[in-house]
A and B are shown apart, each in its own frame.
Chain A
Amino acid sequence: MTGGETDLLARVSDDLPALQIAVPLLSAAVCLIVRRPRAAWSVAMAVAWGSFASACVLLSWVLHGGPISYAEGGWQPPWGIELRIDLLNALVLMVVTGICAIVLTASPRSLDQEVWREHHHKFYALYLLCMTGLAGMTVTGDAFNIFVFLEISSLSSYALIAQGTTRRALTSALQYLVMGTIGGTFILLGIGMIYMVTGTLNIADMAVQLATVGPNRTVLVALACIGIGTGIKLAVFPLHIWLPNAYTYAPAVVTAFLAATATKVAYYVLLRFIFSVFGAEFAGEMRLDAVLMPLAIAAMFVGSFVAIFQDDLKRMLAYSSVAQIGYMVLGLSLATVSGLTGGLVHLFNHAIMKSGLFLVMAAVLLRVGSTRLEAFAGLGRRMPLTMAAFVAGGLSLIGVPLTVGFVSKWYLVMGAFEAGLWPVAVLILLSSLLAVVYIWRVVEVAYFREPPEEAPEVQEAPFSLLAPTWVLIGATVVFGIFTSLSVGVASAAARMLLGIEL
């Protein structure tokens, strides 16, 4: 390597946190210019996989060298905008970019069916913009930046949802837009109140200043505003009503993408504000757990229970997401190391299993043309690999040992015991039984019911869709057995959030 090349490499690696945002943002414009569907897809693919690779590099740097701070434009924090990557957001960033890349790999066949080819390049541009927003929310160390990136990702996701084939996609997108904007505005209001008290927008500096100011009413109202705002974006029960419609009527790949990323990043923002800005002590004094825990438990039961009665499987999985978000929030509200580890591991685990399951829906939609329960009759024999993926993902949702679902529930149950709340542990197990019911309904129809006589021949899903699905489903098993990466990083991040030394 010549000197010039090493210089360039060193400079690129120095700027890696900023490139995580800049590259997808600029490439979105490139997608609009190239126009040809496959060319735009190639651009998006290169960017998404590149982002995933650099997210992995960032995670390994953070694991070995501690948090990375990057002063944007050379303006030193707390005056300039800081990008700050520690274990927590390195993990979230890896999940978000990884899911982005895998879902994008699977998308062309499914999109051919659902979106007009003339619009494909716009679709990929929106997809990259959404990824920019999500990655930006994750890496930034500046509170106002979180709001801006939140709106970038939200606006593009409203447009992505509106691409759905039925006209109900439009009303669902508008419903999400109204609720999402209210959520985003509440977050902005909360950030403004913290700024009033602390005079800073840098998250790390906010925490320092808040500690000297001490609790007062403005801080309390700020906590409430941010809690409600992120609660809407995260779809915490009972603020989840936008989610089932949006997930059901969006194009299948959009659902697979958003289900695994948008709510996860909102969860990250909530964690960041509660634990890094306000501090676990303040949240404990305000009895935040007393608000969040009942809502989380209600979500676990209501989400799973409503899922049982859905005839459209995309809708069923959407309600199941409401329940799974309940588990994540439960981990947060326990505020013990195991509980928080459980919540974070579930963020990771739920992202891979839910996007895998929604890709199964994309495959079925492609081959059968419907995701209603009756369309699944006999699919166990006609699309064996696709349905096997559904079963494996379903087992993970239930939390069967050797799958990732078991790992997250194990830590949540441990967290409940640590907090001395054994009834919560029982409720976790009981709600898992509801998942058995809604997964079994599908398995029964797919494997034990004959397809109707006049049903047309159905082929197995194409390889381009099947391979990404199995990568995700395979990951649910691999990370269910080898937990050192996911649990290791999550528990270290949980200790960091709670301020416990490693």
Chain B
Amino acid sequence: MFEGGLYPYWIVIFLMMTGLYVVISRDNLVKKVIGLNIFQVSVIMFYVAMGKVRGGTAPIEADGFTVYSNPLPHVLMLTAIVVGVATTALALSLVVRIHEAYETIEEDELRELEREEEA
């Protein structure tokens, strides 16, 4: 299972599950956003690992190099990184607004406040 080329995927799965677990289990909204980030980063790593060819260089023609890594998944991840940054920025700005409105960013306390509001 752990032979040669597959180990990056184990790291991907470990990161992904860590991120997802943090999102689900933490009450602190900032920690949730961090978890979300780890989750997204795992997919970026997945694409990068997918495009990498062992011993391959950057896909630029030069004498003496015949093995190239696939640049396409790497390029796609530039877009995904931008998406990730935008999501994190928006999430954090919402957390700031939530802190202004509720004076807490603990989800259990927020839930308590909202229940009181409804009653």
CA A182 to CA B24, docked complex, whole Å = 11
A174 to B91, CA, bound (A): 6
> What residues of chain B lie closer than 8 Å to A147, measured between beta carbons?
80, 83
- Count of chain A residues with Cβ under 8 Å from any Cβ of B? 26
| A375 to B: closest C-beta gap in Å | 16
Known: A168-B114, A181-B36, A189-B46. A151 touches B86 (CB 8 A): yes
Q: Are A178 and B43 in contact (CB under 8 A)?
A: no
Give the number of residue pairs across the A-B interface with Cβ within 8 Å: 71
- Chain A residues lying within 8 Å of B23, measured Cβ to Cβ, are 178, 182
Q: How far is the CB of A153 from chain B (nearest CB, A)?
A: 12
Q: Which of A137-179 contact B (CB under 8 A)?
A: 144, 147-148, 151, 155, 158-159, 162, 167-168, 170-171, 173-174, 177-178
Contact A177 B90 (CB under 8 A): yes
Q: In this assembly, does A196 line the interface, its C-beta being within 8 Å of a C-beta of chain B?
A: yes
Tell me, yes or no, whether A185 is within 8 Å of chain B by CB: yes
Nearest B residue to A196 via CB reads B50
- A147, chain B: closest CB distance, angstroms: 8
Given known A144-B76, A189-B46, contact A174–B40 (CB-CB < 8 A): no
Nearest chain-A residue to B101 (Cβ)? A167
CB <8 Å contact, A174 and B76: no
Contact, CB under 8 Å: A174 / B29: yes
A148 to chain B, nearest CB (A): 6
Contact with A along B94-106 (1 / 0, CB 8 A): 1101100110000
A192 within 8 A of B: yes
CB-CB under 8 A from A359, the residues of chain B are none
Q: Is B20 a contact of A170 with CB atoms below 8 Å? A: no
Indicate which residue in B32, B39, B73, B90 contacts A192 across the interface (CB closer than 8 Å): B73
List CB contacts (< 8 Å) of B63-82 with chain A: 72-73, 76, 79-80
Residues A171 and B110 in contact in the complex (CB < 8 Å), given A144-B76, A192-B46: yes
Q: Is A195 an interface residue (CB 8 A)?
A: yes
Residues of A within 8 A of B76 (CB): 144
Could you tell me the distance between the alpha carbons of A177 and B94 in the complex, rounded to whole angstroms? Answer: 10
A135 within 8 A of B: no
Extra contacts, 6 of them, besides A173-B94, A192-B43, A192-B47 (Cβ < 8 A), are A147-B80, A168-B117, A170-B98, A171-B110, A177-B91, A182-B20
B→A interface (CB under 8 Å)? 20, 23, 29, 32, 36, 39-40, 43, 46-47, 50, 72-73, 76, 79-80, 83, 86-87, 90-91, 94-95, 97-98, 101-102, 110, 114, 117
